[in-house]
Amino acid sequence: MTREALTDVAAIAGAAPLSQVRLATTHGHAVVVGEHPHGAMCVDGFRQLMAAWVEGCEPHVESVDFVGATYAGGMLTCGGMRYFATRLSAQETAACLRERGDWPEEAHAVVREDLLLDVSVVQVLSAELDEDALEAAARDAQAACLVEELCREVSAA
């Protein structure tokens, strides 16, 4: 797992309520992050660790498991909500999502900027949409943010 992907996990864990994360290492060990008797560190400590990460070092994390939730494709599914991270600022993310012409009216996005990790976390929720429609809306939002990130990288080069 890359440092960038693990930074996203730390940001999502910080935004999702009561997160507990198990990081499986390439050495066969597990590190528990979160409020738990067997927790190696709290979520804020995990975020601080990722923010202070030394460039050039890759984490030895093989997989991530959010306890009581599903994490796949950079998105956390937890209790009828979806969370994903983007390298866009909160303002850029909100603007990107507002431009979505086909965004379902019943879906809502909450954007939180994690200044420590220099990412934004988007929470997508809806009381009216079923799980498939909510998943589609969240994946569409995630894809739109990724395209915007890529466009900004290309224009900056």
Residue with tokens 């209790």, as numbered in its chain = 79
**86 is in which domain, residue-wise?**
75-156
pTM to 2 decimals? 0.93
Q: How much is the pLDDT for 92?
A: 96
What is the crossing angle of helices 131-156 and 90-98, to 10°? 120
Domain boundary (48, 72, 96) is at 72
Which of 37, 56, 72 is the endpoint of a domain? 72
Angstrom distance (rounded) from CA 118 to CA 126 = 27
Helices then strands, each counted (H, E), the chain: 4, 8
pLDDT band at 39 (very low <50, low <70, confident <90, very high): confident
79 shares a domain with 54: no
Q: Do 105 and 141 reside in the same domain of the chain?
A: yes
- Tokens 């937890």, residue? 78
Among the residue ranges 39-43, 49-53, 64-68, the one predicted with the least confidence is: 39-43
The 10s digit of each residue's pLDDT in 118-153 is 999 999 999 999 999 999 999 999 999 999 999 988
Number of domains in the chain: 2
Among 41, 72, 103, residue at a domain's last position: 72
- Identify whether residues 119 and 92 lie together within a single domain: yes
The reported pLDDT for the residue numbered 88 is 97
Q: Which residue has the tokens 């431009």?
A: 99
